[in-house]
């Protein structure tokens, strides 16, 4: 085993690797950019080396800087994590030439499988079924249109060196190829330094299932079963689980055997993933690609097998033979993972950038009332800054249970207790997915989000149980604050008993509620029924936990200029708590008029203007591209929402813009 390794990555995966190394007694060094100088990974590593400015092209992607850091720290090996240089064969060869161990597969395997075009050709020769498409590189947009016409729409335009959902567009017409092909090339060049693009048939309503493989340098290879990764948005995974609710044992064995055969064909000697697209109708499957690295979603496999994949990568890279045989492995229970992204689900999931004013993840292990266990993989802390330069994923929440329902129930309980403030996060959205009957049934496809949320995500209305939870919580919080304020002021002596009668206004609905406080127990009258609330909540906490009629719950809330914002799963609602007199007065107040923003194109997020596609005086049709703004490695096409004539253009290519900054005005 190595005595010291260098981690050529950042954030969550850096922390994840450090944890295993600590357990194994392996020292760690990590590289960092200016944006990550105060990061958790840098704090946890035994040593850290500064490698440059925030853009990855000037820091994490610069091979010379990584190799210099290896020499500077005396490290014996490099773990690349995922993304950045993890699947770059040139980097792996540079390390080999420098006599530095690469904690990943051999160069031949990376070259054969890491490139999506080459891997498909290789798989086809090996007899592995592949999705129809054009295997050659495509240079010109016109050529891309001809090829797409020949394959038949819809088609997927995909960066050859892509990964993590970057550099992918689905086109349903020649017009969409004309727009999407240059965008994919630009994203690929920016994210991976490689603008090669290919096109393949897009299979509608497929399921994305992948097989985790492990190989060593002695010719051994095994699989660790499958992961279902069908819940995706913009081709980026959001929820993953293991095993898959689709596969039966026969299909699982066939898929696993094919993945192992492919791994052995390239002498694969590390952790890797063979990805398939599977039909939910007949369970047929086709090879998509092989990721020659550790996957983001590897924790769900670890939870059902008990195998530490990072440890296995270290052992294999140091020359050890796999101690695990295929017959040693079995599936233990079920695991689900939510990717927690810094993005605003209420604004079409646009990136959200800023400081984490609060970051309080749920505790690992057991949660009161939940049947399973919780694992947290995160690379941030409260007070950290979420940068525009990197991927928006800030954490992974993983839960495990004896059954799929148990894992999901535990996930919901954990999400309820995950408190983030200062940026927007996607927790309300993923919590809504888990609540849906269709997801619970296992009837999922990669089109799930598009099918279930065709108009985007606008939150959900509270049901009867949530209304009780929210009204009771709001009344208790406000009643406690009011009574405490009276105690502190000392203006009334003796201090009166806590007020019992309140009106809770949730959105526009008024709910008369009566609270009868007692030690650790409160009687609640709401909608003609009496309930019991038990809670240990104290003022100052923004997570309200308790039990109503013995059933555990948790809601998150924050103060507003008027009232509170309460959040529970997919519900986000303003709550006002008033006396009956002030509630009557509030009902008479006129509603505020909303400002007319229809003639303005505003930046939906902080970012960098890549291009402006209109000029003053130009007539623009609804849906036309106006400009492109880049943030968190994604290029976002901003479109006109109505027909109009351009009155003013306030930005140009290369400009930085803030969220809601006016970029284009219409007459």
Residues serving a catalytic function are 289
Q: At what angle do helices 298-305 and 309-317 cross, to 10 degrees?
A: 100
Distance between CA atoms of 278 and 209, rounded to whole angstroms? 7
Distance between CA atoms of 149 and 400, rounded to whole angstroms? 45
Sign of CA dihedral 95, 97, 100, 101: positive
Distance between CA atoms of 125 and 121, rounded to whole angstroms? 6
List the beta strands (DSSP E) in 204-345.
207-215, 221-233, 236-242, 271-278, 285-291, 334-341, 343-344
Cα radius of gyration rounded to whole Å, the chain: 27
Instruction: For 407-439, give the DSSP string.
Output: HHHHHHHHHHT-EEESS--SHHHHHHHHH-HHH
Distance between CA atoms of 120 and 337, rounded to whole angstroms? 29
Residue 575 DSSP SS3: strand
Distance between CA atoms of 293 and 646, rounded to whole angstroms? 48
Instruction: For 162-226, give the DSSP string.
Output: EETTEEEEEESSHHHHHHHHHHHHHHHHHHHS---EEEEE--SS-EEEEEEEEE-TTS-EEEEEE
Distance between CA atoms of 303 and 243, rounded to whole angstroms? 10
Q: Do the strands 27-32 and 600-602 form a parallel or antiparallel pair, or are they unpaired?
A: unpaired
- Among the listed residues 89, 54, 63, 88, the one whose alpha carbon sits nearest the alpha carbon of residue 6: 63
User: Rounded to 5 degrees, what are φ and ψ at 502?
Assistant: -140, 160
- Helix ranges (H only) for 500-555 are none
Sign of CA dihedral 496, 497, 501, 505: positive
- Among the listed residues 365, 361, 367, the one whose alpha carbon sits nearest the alpha carbon of residue 375: 365
- Among the listed residues 272, 274, 253, 261, the one whose alpha carbon sits nearest the alpha carbon of residue 208: 274
Q: How many residues does the chain have?
A: 667
Helix then strand then coil, % of the chain, to nearest 5 = 30, 35, 35
Contact 257, 287 (CB under 8 A): no
């Amino acid at each position: 085993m190595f005595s010291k390794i260098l981690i050529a990555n950042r954030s969550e995966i850096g922390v994840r690797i450090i944890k295993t190394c600590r357990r194994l007694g392996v020292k760690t060094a990590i590289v960092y950019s200016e944006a990550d100088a105060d990061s958790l990974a840098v704090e946890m590593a035994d040593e850290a080396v500064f490698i440059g400015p925030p853009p990855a092209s000037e820091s994490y992607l610069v091979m010379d800087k990584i190799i210099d850091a290896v020499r500077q720290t005396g490290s014996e090996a490099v773990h690349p994590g995922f993304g950045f240089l993890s699947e770059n064969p040139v980097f792996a060869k540079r390390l080999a030439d420098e006599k530095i161990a690469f904690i990943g597969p051999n160069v031949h395997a990376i070259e054969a499988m890491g490139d999506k075009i080459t891997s498909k050709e290789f798989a086809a020769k090996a007899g592995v079924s592949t999705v129809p498409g054009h295997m050659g590189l495509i240079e010109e947009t016109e050529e891309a249109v001809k090829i797409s016409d020949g394959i038949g729409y819809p088609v997927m335009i995909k960066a050859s060196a892509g990964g993590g959902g970057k550099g992918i567009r689905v086109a349903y017409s020649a017009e969409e190829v004309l727009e999407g092909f240059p965008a994919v090339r630009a994203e690929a060049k920016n994210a991976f330094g490689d603008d090669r693009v290919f096109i393949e048939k897009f299979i509608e309503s497929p399921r994305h299932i992948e097989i985790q493989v492990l190989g060593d340098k002695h010719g051994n290879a095994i699989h660790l079963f499958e992961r279902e990764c069908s819940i995706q948005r913009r081709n980026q995974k959001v929820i993953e689980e293991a095993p898959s609710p689709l596969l039966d044992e026969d299909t699982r064995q066939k898929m696993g055997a094919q993945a192992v055969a492919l791994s052995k064909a390239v002498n694969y000697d590390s952790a890797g993933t063979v990805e398939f697209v599977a039909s939910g109708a007949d369970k047929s499957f086709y090879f998509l690609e092989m990721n020659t690295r550790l996957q983001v979603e590897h924790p769900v496999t670890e939870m059902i097998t008990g195998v530490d994949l990072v440890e296995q990568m270290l052992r294999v890279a140091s020359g050890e033979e796999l101690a695990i045989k295929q017959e040693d492995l079995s599936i233990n229970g079920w695991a689900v993972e939510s990717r927690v992204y810094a993005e605003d689900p209420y604004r079409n999931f646009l990136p959200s950038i800023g400081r984490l004013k609060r970051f309080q993840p749920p505790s690992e292990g057991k949660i009161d009332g939940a049947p399973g266990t919780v694992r947290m993989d995160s690379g941030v802390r409260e007070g950290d800054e979420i940068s525009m330069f990197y991927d928006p994923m800030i954490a992974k929440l993983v839960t495990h249970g004896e059954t799929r329902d148990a894992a999901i129930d535990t996930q919901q309980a954990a999400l309820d207790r995950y408190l983030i403030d200062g940026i927007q996060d996607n927790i309300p959205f993923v919590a809504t997915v888990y609540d849906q009957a269709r997801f619970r049934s296992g009837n999922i496809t990669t089109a799930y989000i598009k099918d279930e949320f065709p108009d985007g995500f606008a939150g959900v209305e509270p049901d009867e149980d949530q209304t009780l939870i929210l009204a009771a919580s709001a009344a208790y919080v406000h009643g406690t604050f009011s009574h405490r304020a009276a105690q502190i002021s000392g203006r009334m002596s003796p201090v009166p008993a806590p007020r019992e009668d309140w009106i809770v206004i949730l959105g526009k609905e008024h709910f008369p509620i009566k609270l009868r406080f007692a030690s650790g127990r409160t009687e609640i009258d709401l909608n003609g029924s009496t309930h019991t609330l038990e809670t240990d909540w104290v003022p100052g906490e923004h997570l309200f936990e308790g039990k109503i009629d013995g059933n555990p719950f948790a809601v998150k809330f924050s103060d507003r200029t008027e009232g509170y914002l309460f959040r529970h799963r997919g519900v986000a609602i303003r709550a006002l708590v008033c006396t009956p007199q002030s509630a009557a007065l509030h009902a008479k107040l006129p509603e505020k008029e909303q400002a007319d923003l229809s003639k303005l194109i505003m930046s939906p997020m902080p970012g960098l203007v890549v291009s402006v596609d209109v000029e003053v005086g130009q007539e623009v049709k609804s849906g036309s591209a106006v400009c492109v703004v880049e943030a968190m490695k994604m290029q976002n096409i901003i479109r006109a929402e109505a027909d109009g004539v351009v009155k003013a253009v306030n930005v140009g290519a290369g400009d930085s813009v803030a969220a809601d900054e006016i970029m284009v005005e219409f007459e």
